[in-house]
Structures are given as structure tokens and as C-alpha cells.
């Protein structure tokens, strides 16, 4: 599936202020050195260490604040200096103001101080020409700040993916469309998936709920494929008589993958309709959520040209047991707790049904249990936090 994810062509130059969560289309190298000058890390007093080796008192001859031009310190004197201010020529040490005493225009140094301390050296962060951000990197708030520190007002990013979300099922009603009749439920999958897609920076539109009808489903898929890079559906990919998405995909395009050995989320379809990629997710909301995190999200990131990253699990202790092994890899919704000894434990939600969407709000992430594995309370298990999966 991921082998088919060729990054979309095309990029756009946008303002840095609008670039959060977009994927860089080119490397960024620093045009300047940061910081560009030696500056004080503290409010205090600057002087030349050699001038104060055998004396504790120095006359104050200069005052420098942040933004002032570079000054020249007279030999044998001190400078009142503030955080971020350029260290004057002739000074090489700053002592913080709390450790000093001032008597008029005389600085009284503490008995002990450290030479060359409290100065941020030019280029200690970035040197001109350094690679600061690589193409394929998603711009986080800190990455935006780093680019700004080097003077970038604009960046070139990959274009947004166009994703169409379709939900299927005769039982579905759109929230806000009126009260439910017996046997109906509100469609939670489309709003949830659009929110997940928005976090990835995709352009989305949606349609549905579509009825359980082959002709209607085929028409909707054809229409979506005319404008979409990716079509994401929920429901209709299992083996029931009312599941028409798989048949519609095979009639309108190609089916390359069907079903994965995980729990929740066994029904999963992948294929193409024309130039559009197709991803068919299960109808149960937890299954749709989990399969999006594990499969759809990484696939879309690859389409956006984002550099691949592995699943970042970390070990915690299980506060639950699984005495009977499953032949499928299971992802258990779990919440982290910290015990008195500082160890992290994962508490499983008591109802792991794929229809219990409230469990995904209660939980912090997923415990990954390999196929055929049993788990005893206290065992180490890998934990995948939602925040790392959904962004």
C-alpha cells in the first residue's frame, strides 16, 4: 500500500505565518548566523576577566541594552548590561546582577565568579549555510520559529491533498438534520475523519450518508474521483449483502488490498479509481479511527512528500491481562497512569467493542499486542500515544 504513495507534484510559496502543519517542498539553509553577535545571557555586569583577577571593584563606564549598537569598553572598567545586549568589545565575562553590589558608579564583584560566563556566543545556534530544515519536514510551531529566526518570511510547501470523504449506510443521519427514527444513528465517521484530515493539512469535502445501494455508490465514487487525490469511505467494505463499496470499487476501478489482520479494523480496502487513490475503512467508528491512524495517516503523509517516520511506541506496564491469544494483532485503547514508584502503567478501557467511540476520548493511545501473544498484569507492552499517531 505505502509503495503506491508517490508524492503529489506541485508546490506553492506561502507566508511563513500560514505554513503551520504544511510540508516543506525544499531544503532551507540559513542565510545568516544566529545569534549574529556575542550577547549577554543575563541582566548583570560585563567586564574583562583579566581586569578583575586581583580586585573586586571596577568603575562602571558603559551601559548597554538589547538593540544597542556594539560598544567599546574601556580597560579596567565594567559595563551595565541587559539580557540580549551585545557584549562590548573589551569584555569577555558577565556576572548576573543578583550576585553583584553597586555603590554609585562602582561595581563590587562577589568573591567568586566564573570567567567567560553568561555570554551567548555568535553562531552558537546556527551558522550561515547550515541546513536548518529539510524538504519533506512538516512544519511544527518550533520549526516556524526557527525559520523566522533566520529571516524567512516565506517558504515553499507541497500543495494540499484533495480528499473526499464518503460515509455509507441506510441507518446514518447527519447530526443536526433532525431527530432519529428507530434503527437510525448519527454519522460520526465523516466529522471525525474530516477533523483528522484537517490536522494533516488536507483540503476536504464530504458526501453522504450514502444509502446501501450499488448504483448510488458507484456514481458517488465516479464523481469523487474527478477532483480528488484520495477518496476515503467508511462502511460497506465487509462481506454483508448490504456492503456495496467493495463491489463499486471493483466495478469503477481496481482493488489492490482487502482486509488486514488487526483488531479492531479487519475490513480495509485499498485501490484506485482513475487517478485517485481509494481507501475504504470499516463502518464501526473505533475501527475507522484506528485504521486511519495506522494506515491512512501514514499513506497521506507520504503522498504529501513528508519524510517517513516509524511508529513511535514506548514501553509501559500492563494494568490488564489477556489470557487468550488472538490470531490478529490487537490495538487496545488504554489510558496511562503513574504509580507511586514513578512507573507508567496502561489501563485498558473496560469495553473494547469497536462501536464504543467514547473509549477513544477516554484513552491516551493504543497498546500494541502482537498476534498470538498473551499479556499478564505487569508485563511490558508497547504503547502508541494518539498525539504521535494523529499529527
225 Cβ neighbours under 8 A, 6+ residues apart: 231, 252, 253, 273, 274, 275, 276
Provide DSSP, 168-201. Answer: E-TTEE-TTS-PPPTT-EE--HHHHHHHHHHHTT
Specify the CATH architecture of the domain 162-303.
3-Layer(aba) Sandwich (3.40)
Can you give the residue ranges of every domain in the chain? 2-32+126-158, 39-120, 162-303, 314-380
Higher pLDDT, 77 or 267: 77
pLDDT of residue 266: 83
The tens digit of pLDDT for each residue in 106-133 reads 999 999 999 999 999 999 999 999 999 9
Fold classification of 314-380 (topology level): Beta-clip (2.40.340)
Contact 45, 100 (CB under 8 A): yes
Q: How confident is the model at residue 241 (pLDDT cuts 50, 70, 90)?
A: low
d(CA 40, CA 95): 10
Fold classification of 39-120 (topology level): Molybdopterin biosynthesis moeA protein; domain 3 (2.170.190)
The tens digit of pLDDT for each residue in 186-232 reads 999 999 999 999 999 999 999 878 888 899 999 999 999 999 999 99
pLDDT at position 148 over 90: yes
* Average pLDDT over all residues of the chain: 93
Contact 209, 175 (CB under 8 A): no
| Cα–Cα separations (whole angstroms), residue 322 to 264, 290, 329 | 15, 20, 13
pLDDT of residue 3: 65
Q: What's 2-32+126-158's CATH class?
A: alpha beta
pLDDT at position 358 over 90: yes
Cα 269 off chain centre by: 26
Asked whether the domain spanning 39-120 has the same topology as the one spanning 2-32+126-158, the reply is: no
The tens digit of pLDDT for each residue in 304-321 reads 999 888 888 999 999 999
Q: What is the Cα gyration radius of the chain?
A: 30
Q: Measured on CA atoms in the order 91, 94, 95, 101, is the torsion positive or negative?
A: positive
The tens digit of pLDDT for each residue in 43-89 reads 999 999 999 998 999 999 999 999 999 999 999 999 999 999 999 99
pLDDT at position 149 over 90: yes
Hey, is 262 helix, strand or coil? strand
Amino acid at each position: 500500500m505505502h509503495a503506491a504513495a508517490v508524492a503529489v507534484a506541485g508546490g506553492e510559496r506561502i507566508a511563513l505565518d500560514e505554513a503551520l502543519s504544511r510540508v516543506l517542498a525544499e531544503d532551507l539553509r540559513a542565510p545568516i548566523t544566529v545569534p549574529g553577535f556575542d550577547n549577554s545571557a543575563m541582566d548583570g555586569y560585563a567586564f574583562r576577566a583579566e581586569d578583575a583577577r586581583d580586585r573586586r571593584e571596577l568603575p562602571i563606564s558603559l551601559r548597554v541594552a538589547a538593540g544597542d549598537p556594539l560598544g567599546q569598553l574601556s580597560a579596567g572598567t565594567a559595563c551595565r548590561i541587559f539580557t540580549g545586549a551585545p557584549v562590548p568589545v573589551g569584555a569577555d565575562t558577565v556576572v548576573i546582577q543578583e550576585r553583584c553590589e553597586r555603590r554609585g558608579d562602582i561595581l563590587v564583584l562577589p568573591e567568586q565568579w566564573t570567567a567567560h560566563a553568561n555570554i551567548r556566543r555568535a553562531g552558537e545556534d546556527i551558522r550561515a549555510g547550515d541546513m536548518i530544515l529539510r524538504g519533506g519536514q512538516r512544519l511544527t510551531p518550533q520549526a516556524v520559529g526557527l525559520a523566522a529566526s533566520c529571516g524567512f518570511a516565506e517558504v515553499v510547501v507541497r500543495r494540499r491533498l484533495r480528499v473526499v470523504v464518503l460515509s455509507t449506510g441506510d441507518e446514518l443521519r447527519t447530526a443536526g438534520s433532525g431527530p432519529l427514527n428507530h434503527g437510525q444513528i448519527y454519522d460520526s465517521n465523516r466529522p471525525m475523519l474530516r477533523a483528522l484530515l484537517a490536522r494533516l493539512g488536507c483540503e476536504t469535502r464530504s458526501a453522504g450518508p450514502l444509502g446501501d445501494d450499488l448504483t448510488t455508490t458507484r456514481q458517488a465514487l465516479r464523481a469523487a474521483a474527478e477532483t480528488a487525490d484520495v477518496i476515503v469511505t467508511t462502511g460497506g467494505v465487509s462481506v454483508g449483502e448490504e456492503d456495496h463499496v467493495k463491489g463499486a470499487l471493483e466495478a469503477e476501478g481496481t482493488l489492490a488490498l482487502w482486509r488486514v489482520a488487526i483488531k479492531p479494523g479487519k475490513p480495509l480496502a485499498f485501490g484506485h479509481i482513475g487517478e485517485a487513490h481509494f481507501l475504504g475503512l470499516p463502518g464501526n467508528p473505533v475501527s475507522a479511527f484506528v485504521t486511519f491512524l495506522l494506515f491512512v495517516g501514514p499513506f497521506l503523509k507520504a503522498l504529501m512528500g513528508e519524510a517517513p517516520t516509524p511508529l513511535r511506541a514506548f514501553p509501559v506496564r500492563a494494568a490488564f491481562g489477556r489470557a487468550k491469544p488472538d490470531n490478529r494483532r490487537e490495538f487496545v485503547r488504554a489510558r496511562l497512569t503513574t504509580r507511586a514508584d514513578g512507573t507508567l502503567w496502561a489501563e485498558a478501557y473496560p469495553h473494547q467493542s469497536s462501536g464504543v467511540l467514547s473509549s477513544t476520548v477516554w484513552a491516551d493511545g493504543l497498546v500494541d499486542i502482537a498476534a498470538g501473544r498473551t499479556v499478564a498484569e505487569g508485563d511490558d507492552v508497547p504503547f502508541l500515544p494518539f498525539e504521535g499517531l494523529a499529527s
